[in-house]
């Protein structure tokens, strides 16, 4: 257990897809799974992704319903620049066919931002070689990645053939219609060492120039670099092939730079001799010395840039290596996924580590991720996350219109890339309307935390008003109850569909209506676009909204009729039937009381200061026993609340579950990618849970509750432009 590194030793074929996720790299603009560079015929999920470059995959459903989106926008598997075909005396290097693989080791160095893999392999022709591969995706240069690949023959002098290539014939595993998403426009070799593929996404027409730059040399010799003996160009492929005789014990080193230059519409910058702008940059210069030193230079920059990130965002836990390593892994992955440089990018639930969830934006961003970026990066980065939704307001209004809402009401999509809804299951698309609440709550949370009130006037208000208009139309008056009700919804707990009066949804709707009304009155009442009657109506609905409540238990009910269920706790379910979603029929899940993720308690998390300690305790103790935490977004919220209730052991168990979810593969699905957005929840469970950080009356408060075996907990937060260094000692 290393505090700053994730290390895996030993080659186990069944672990390959899982480790491809865990050892993924990203720089906020692009990312890649830890696929082997050389050929591998075993089980693998190939994945390289570019932020914001997506494809509208035509929706495929069994039974079409009016209002379904026509497509699901997904981040594409991008052309690959990392690949190498390697032959040793004519035999392909493929760990799946090697007769022996020894000293296999992967290391993800989180402090410095690189990933290294080493092994010693015996090929079927009995040749034994040692390989070391070091990779990084540059934080400083969005478009640039680098690989250093070294081969040392151990048995005898061998002929090493290396074909370093680019490949745009890539597919998405999750393509609905098994289509290729890229059209290759141009394949070229410009110099002995530089080649590219220009490809365009179908329909969305993002043009991507994938490039590579190679330098091959024998170590120990005078600087000498080899030229490729062959250049292989095909429709979707370009390779530079080298053939070198390497004596036993000597090392051949390939430094490969690669990445993407992206354009939508405009032409790429191309110099008169056909080279891209990278050739002009000094870190991949023209001179031999520059070319030989480029990798080391980039690595040095990388260490410096990561040091700057850690300076603000590191969390130190003394007395618990497991917890320490886990929180760093989570912080590292969050920084790999989103840098905050660009308002058109966002945080996909799996970041750049897999295809699931299509790289699209979910309510996860507002409900879970925003606080992390606000506190560790400051207001500008967090503001970009809000601007993403502001820029998509027109689309959200259009989306509501498609469903029959009028007068500028907005329903933000549950899943989106460009502002349009792209989820196509009715219970999520049409019913999980609580997401609108999280988007409004994020504005409130941002302003309360950063003090940037101007955001409301300049942008936030328009979003709040459109959201309030939606709730005012979505709530309906029940003559029976003489109250406003919200019918036919799905709350955050997706193990219940089409329920009436989900407490969380009703509560956040009520809060949105009041908050929007308050903000309109504070800033904009004179504006023409809001009629005073609207504000009166919003307040009336908010005042008279209905909440299901049980006198017997003294708790708000998750929804109407919750107490009719067979209320056996999760502990009564045999272990072999968990997770339920892999063992029970959907019908059985829907009828059960089991809660996929924090639902009523999500409301208690957001609005903790609306409730007394006793109310929180009752609700936590009522709902936790029914919660199966089968969404990765769940244990973190419960952990924060358990810490608030001083339930240290429970809070700690839930913390380990959230923070080591991927490292220890709790849900047996890490091969599909990492749970990036829930990693922000892990940060919440430390800072807001064990640190007890919360904002009251524009001030930062802490109520620490450290697990008994921790000696200390330290972290930094930026609050209203000031850096606060926090250390709590047990
Ligand atoms: C959760 C949603 C979440 C989505 C993406 C689902 O399993 O139930 O709340 O938005 O995953 O993380």
Q: Cβ atoms within 10 A of the Cβ of 311, count?
A: 10
Among 432, 495, 496, 631, which residue has the most ligand 1 atoms within 8 Å of its CB, making it the best to mutate? 631
Q: Whose CA is nearest to atom 5 of ligand 1?
A: 349
Mean pLDDT along residues 537-545: 98
Summarised one tens digit per residue, pLDDT across range 216-269 is 999 986 767 899 999 999 999 999 999 999 999 999 999 999 998 887 654 444
Is position 157 annotated as part of the catalytic site? no
Atom of ligand 1 nearest to the CA of 677: 12
Mean pLDDT along residues 186-210: 89
The pLDDT of residue 192 is: 84
Does the beta carbon of 362 lie inside 6 Å of ligand 1? yes
102 Cα: distance to centroid of ligand 1 (angstroms): 40
Question: Which residue among the candidates 161, 355, 421, 494 is catalytic per the annotation?
Answer: 494
Rounded distance, CA 637 to CA 397, Å? 31
Atom of ligand 1 nearest to the CA of 675: 12
Rounded distance, CA 502 to CA 480, Å? 18
Rounded distance, CA 537 to CA 539, Å? 5
pLDDT band at 323 (very low <50, low <70, confident <90, very high): very high
The pLDDT of residue 288 is: 59
The pLDDT of residue 71 is: 86
pLDDT band at 394 (very low <50, low <70, confident <90, very high): very high
Question: Quick check: 444 pLDDT over 70?
Answer: yes
* 248 or 378, higher pLDDT: 248
The pLDDT of residue 265 is: 53
Question: Quick check: 485 pLDDT over 70?
Answer: yes
Q: At what angle do helices 676-684 and 634-644 cross, to 10 degrees?
A: 0
| Residue 335 φ then ψ, to 5° | -70, -30
Quick one: tokens of 429? 């698309």
Cis status, amide bond into 579, omega within 30 of 0: yes
The pLDDT of residue 529 is: 80
Task: Lowest mean pLDDT of 17-21, 42-46, 71-75, name the range.
Answer: 71-75
Rounded distance, CA 270 to CA 151, Å? 34
The pLDDT of residue 270 is: 40
The pLDDT of residue 221 is: 67
Question: Quick check: 667 pLDDT over 90?
Answer: no
Question: Quick check: 277 pLDDT over 50?
Answer: no
- Angle in degrees, CA 350, 677, 633, rounded to 5: 110
* 285 or 640, higher pLDDT: 640
Give residue 655's Cα distance to chain centre: 19
Mean pLDDT along residues 668-690: 96
Quick one: tokens of 110? 């989180």
Q: In the predicted model, what is the mean pLDDT of the chain? A: 93
Of the chain, the end-to-end C-alpha distance in Å amounts to 23
Question: Quick check: 496 pLDDT over 80?
Answer: yes
CB of 596 closer than 8 Å to CB of 494: yes
């Amino acid at each position: 257990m290393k505090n700053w590194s994730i290390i895996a030793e030993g080659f186990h074929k069944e672990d390959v897809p899982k480790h491809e996720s865990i050892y993924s790299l990203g720089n906020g603009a692009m990312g890649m799974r830890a696929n082997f560079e050389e050929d591998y015929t075993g089980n693998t999920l190939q994945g390289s992704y570019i932020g914001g470059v997506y494809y509208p995959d035509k929706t495929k459903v069994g039974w079409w319903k009016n209002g379904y989106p026509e497509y699901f926008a997904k981040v594409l598997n991008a052309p690959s620049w990392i690949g190498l075909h390697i032959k040793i005396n004519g035999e392909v290097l493929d760990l799946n066919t090697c007769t022996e693989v020894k000293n296999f080791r992967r290391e993800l160095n989180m402090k410095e931002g690189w990933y290294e893999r080493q092994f010693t392999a015996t090929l079927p022709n009995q040749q034994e070689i040692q390989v070391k591969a070091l990779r990084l995706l540059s934080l400083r240069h969005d478009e640039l990645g680098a690989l250093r690949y070294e081969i040392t023959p151990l048995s005898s002098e061998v002929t090493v053939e290396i074909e370093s290539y680019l490949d745009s014939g890539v597919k998405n595993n999750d393509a609905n219609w098994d289509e290729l998403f890229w059209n290759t426009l141009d394949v070229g070799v410009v110099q002995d060492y530089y080649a590219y593929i220009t490809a365009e996404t179908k329909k969305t027409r993002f043009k991507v120039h994938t490039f590579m730059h190679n330098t091959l040399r024998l170590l120990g010799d005078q600087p000498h670099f080899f030229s490729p003996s062959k250049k292989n160009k095909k429709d979707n492929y370009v390779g530079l092939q080298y053939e070198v005789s390497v004596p036993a014990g000597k090392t051949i080193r390939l430094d490969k730079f690669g990445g993407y230059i992206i354009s939508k519409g405009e032409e790429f910058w191309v110099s008169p001799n056909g080279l891209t702008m990278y050739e002009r940059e000094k870190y991949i210069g023209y001179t031999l010395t520059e070319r030989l030193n480029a990798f080391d230079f980039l690595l040095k920059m990388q260490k410096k840039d990561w040091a700057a990130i850690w300076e603000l965002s590191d969390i130190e836990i003394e007395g618990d290596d497991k917890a320490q390593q886990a929180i760093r892994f989570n912080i590292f992955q969050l920084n790999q996924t989103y840098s905050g440089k660009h308002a058109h990018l966002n945080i996909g639930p799996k970041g750049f580590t897999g295809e699931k969830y299509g790289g699209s934006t979910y309510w996860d961003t507002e409900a879970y991720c925003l606080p992390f970026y606000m506190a560790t990066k400051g207001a500008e980065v967090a503001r970009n996350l809000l601007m993403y939704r502001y820029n998509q307001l027109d689309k959200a209004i259009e989306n509501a219109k498609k469903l029959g809402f009028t007068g500028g009401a907005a329903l933000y999509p549950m899943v989106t890339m460009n502002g349009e809804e792209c989820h196509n299951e009715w219970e999520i698309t049409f019913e999980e309307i609580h997401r609108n609440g999280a988007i409004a709550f994020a504005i409130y949370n941002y302003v309360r935390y950063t003090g940037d009130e101007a955001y409301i006037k300049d942008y936030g208000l328009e979003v709040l008003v459109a959201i309030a208009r939606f709730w005012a139309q979505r709530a309906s008056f029940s003559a029976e109850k003489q109250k406003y009700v919200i019918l036919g919804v799905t709350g955050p707990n997706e193990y219940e569909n089409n329920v009436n009066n989900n407490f969380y949804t009703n509560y956040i709707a009520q809060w949105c209506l009041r908050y929007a009304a308050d903000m309109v009155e504070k800033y904009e009442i004179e504006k023409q676009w809001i009629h005073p009657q609207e504000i009166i109506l919003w307040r009336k609905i908010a005042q008279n909204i209905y909440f299901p409540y049980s006198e017997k238990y003294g708790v708000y009910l998750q929804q109407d009729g919750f107490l009719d269920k067979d209320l056996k706790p999760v502990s009564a379910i045999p272990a072999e039937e968990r997770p339920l979603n892999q063992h029970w029929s959907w019908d059985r899940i829907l009828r059960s009381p089991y809660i996929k993720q924090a639902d009523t308690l999500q409301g208690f998390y957001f609005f903790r200061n609306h409730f007394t300690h006793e109310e929180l305790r009752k609700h936590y103790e009522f709902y936790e026993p029914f919660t199966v935490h089968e969404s990765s977004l769940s244990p973190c919220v419960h952990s924060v609340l358990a810490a608030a209730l001083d339930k240290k052991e429970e809070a700690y168990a839930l913390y380990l579950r959230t923070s080591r979810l991927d490292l220890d593969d709790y849900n047996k699905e890490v091969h599909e990618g990492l749970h990036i957005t829930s990693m922000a929840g892990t940060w919440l469970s430390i800072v807001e849970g064990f640190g007890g950080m919360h904002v009251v009356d524009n001030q930062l408060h802490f109520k620490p509750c450290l697990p008994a075996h921790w000696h200390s907990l330290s972290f930094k937060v930026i609050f209203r432009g000031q850096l606060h260094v926090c250390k709590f000692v047990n």
